[in-house]
């Protein structure tokens, strides 16, 4: 065999040398699938039903068994964390999931995890993990818009793509990703944008991170805000999370009454899905100010799923914190994690600027 180190075309090209080094050291990845339920594990009595089925009906072994091709991509094992409709997601399951992900990824024999999840709250769970997972190994969320029993179910292909993504060495250090409909999205920016279509997920502010095509992984972008190993949030010693709620603004809304009721019921902080760039009806500001004097934190986001919210002079004077480009459900995740560290509005505002 020819000595490649003597070949000037190779020795003078650092990227080719790097590729050779990578391919000789590449080993078969070991990926753990953590199943939580959702439509990807959903079943109904008719192949024609894409509504009215039961989410979280099928176990992880059946999910793996339905896509034997994934065994060609990696060594696969599965664990059942929960089996729910993701509308029923709880702090308890989030903490269980985060602790299990961290325990698995610290193990040198595991190269990545894939989390099967309902699509309704997937963006929230993914962003939570993006901020509390302590590893640079790939963490990929995947779901489906059609139940496993449906004609043309999208779950099997999505799962295949998710394993290809988690097994790719290129996926390291990119934070938590969501794999749906061949597209890779960052947990930081992704949102569910359609109620039923298989093209349901997008990232309005950043666009897709990349795509998977026939097990080939291609990236266009990287998330720029801190995540995983650079994130300061640590839930390893927690068994509950601070109570944070969202209130939705609209013409003639009853926000002040609802805010007061929630605060007296234990809510520590509110995200307001304001109108436009975060506007809140002026009649509610007196009540919010009164509750803030008693410790309530208020973050202004928007009911519009695209754009930036920074509290204007009047609102920041009142103590409202702008959510930046985080939609209300994402802002809620960051806010509850911020509250695990501090109750200071100034420090929480700094956290919103940073993450």
The reply on whether position 39 binds ligand ASP by CB under 6 A is yes
Q: What part of residues 282-341 is at the interface with ligand ASP (CB under 6 A)?
A: none
The reply on whether position 50 binds ligand ASP by CB under 6 A is no
Q: Which is nearer to ligand ASP, 127 or 263 (CB)?
A: 127
* Angle of helix 285-293 versus helix 255-264 axis, rounded to 10: 20
**Cα radius of gyration (the chain):** 22
Q: Which is nearer to ligand ASP, 42 or 278 (CB)?
A: 42
Whether 259 contacts 282, CB under 8 Å: no
The reply on whether position 55 binds ligand ASP by CB under 6 A is yes
The number of residues that bind ligand ASP (CB under 6 A) is 11
Select from 44, 50, 102, 119 the one that contacts ligand ASP (CB under 6 A): 119
Q: Which is nearer to ligand ASP, 39 or 267 (CB)?
A: 39
DSSP assignment string, 66-111: T-TTHHHHSEEEEEEEEEE-GGG--HHHHHHHHHHHHHHHTSTT--
The reply on whether position 38 binds ligand ASP by CB under 6 A is yes
CA angle 94, 96, 99 (to 5 degrees): 105
Q: Which residue is nearest to ligand ASP (CB)?
A: 118
The reply on whether position 242 binds ligand ASP by CB under 6 A is no
Whether 177 contacts 139, CB under 8 Å: yes
Q: Which is nearer to ligand ASP, 82 or 241 (CB)?
A: 82
Q: Shortest distance, CB of residue 120 to ligand ASP, whole angstroms?
A: 3
Helix (H) or strand (E) holding 270: strand 269-274
Cα 118 to Cα 142, 153, 173, 334, 355, distances in angstroms? 8, 14, 25, 21, 25
The reply on whether position 85 binds ligand ASP by CB under 6 A is yes
Q: Shortest distance, CB of residue 273 to ligand ASP, whole angstroms?
A: 20
Who's near 314: CB < 8 A, 6+ residues apart? none
CA angle 354, 116, 168 (to 5 degrees): 70
Q: Which is nearer to ligand ASP, 129 or 270 (CB)?
A: 129
Q: Which is nearer to ligand ASP, 118 or 242 (CB)?
A: 118
Cα separation, 180 vs 155, in Å, equals 9
Cα separation, 64 vs 92, in Å, equals 25
Q: Which stretch binds ligand ASP (CB under 6 A): 3-11, 81-89, 210-218, 252-260?
A: 81-89
Q: Shortest distance, CB of residue 119 to ligand ASP, whole angstroms?
A: 3
Q: Give catalytic residue positions.
A: 39
Q: What part of residues 136-195 is at the interface with ligand ASP (CB under 6 A)?
A: 143, 145
Q: Shortest distance, CB of residue 25 to ligand ASP, whole angstroms?
A: 38
Binding residues (CB under 6 A) for ligand ASP: these are 38-39, 55, 85-87, 118-120, 143, 145
């Amino acid at each position: 065999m020819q000595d490649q180190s003597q070949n000037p075309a190779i020795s003078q090209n650092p990227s080719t040398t790097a590729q050779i080094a990578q391919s000789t050291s590449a080993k078969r990845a070991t990926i753990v699938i953590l199943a939580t339920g959702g439509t990807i594990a959903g079943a109904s009595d008719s192949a024609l039903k894409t509504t009215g089925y039961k989410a979280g009906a099928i176990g992880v072994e059946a999910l793996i068994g339905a896509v034997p091709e994934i065994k060609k991509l990696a060594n696969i094992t599965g664990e059942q964390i929960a089996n729910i409709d993701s509308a029923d997601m709880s702090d308890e399951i989030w903490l269980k999931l985060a602790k299990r992900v961290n325990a698995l990824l610290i193990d040198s024999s595991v190269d990545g995890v894939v989390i099967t999840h309902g699509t309704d709250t997937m963006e929230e769970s993914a962003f939570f993990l993006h901020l509390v997972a302590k590893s640079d190994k790939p963490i990929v969320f995947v779901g489906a818009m059609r139940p496993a029993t449906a004609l043309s179910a999208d779950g099997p292909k999505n799962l295949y793509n998710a394993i290809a993504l988690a097994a790719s060495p290129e996926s390291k250090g990119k934070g938590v990703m969501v794999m749906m409909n061949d597209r890779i999205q960052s947990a930081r920016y992704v949102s569910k944008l359609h109620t039923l279509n298989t093209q349901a997920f997008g990232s309005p502010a950043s666009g897709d991170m990349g795509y998977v095509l026939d097990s080939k992984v291609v990236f266009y972008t990287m998330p720029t805000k801190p995540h995983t190993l650079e994130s300061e949030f640590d839930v390893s010693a927690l068994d509950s999370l601070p109570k944070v709620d969202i209130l939705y603004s609209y013409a003639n809304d009853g926000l002040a009454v609802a805010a007061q009721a929630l605060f007296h019921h234990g809510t520590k902080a509110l995200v307001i899905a304001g109108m436009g760039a975060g506007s809140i009806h002026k009649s509610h500001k007196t009540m919010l100010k009164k509750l803030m004097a008693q410790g309530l934190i208020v973050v202004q986001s928007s009911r519009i799923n695209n754009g930036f919210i920074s509290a204007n002079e009047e609102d920041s004077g009142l103590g409202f914190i702008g959510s930046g480009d985080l939609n209300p459900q994402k802002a809620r995740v960051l806010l509850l994690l911020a509250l695990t560290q501090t109750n200071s509005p100034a420090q929480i505002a700094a956290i919103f600027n940073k993450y």
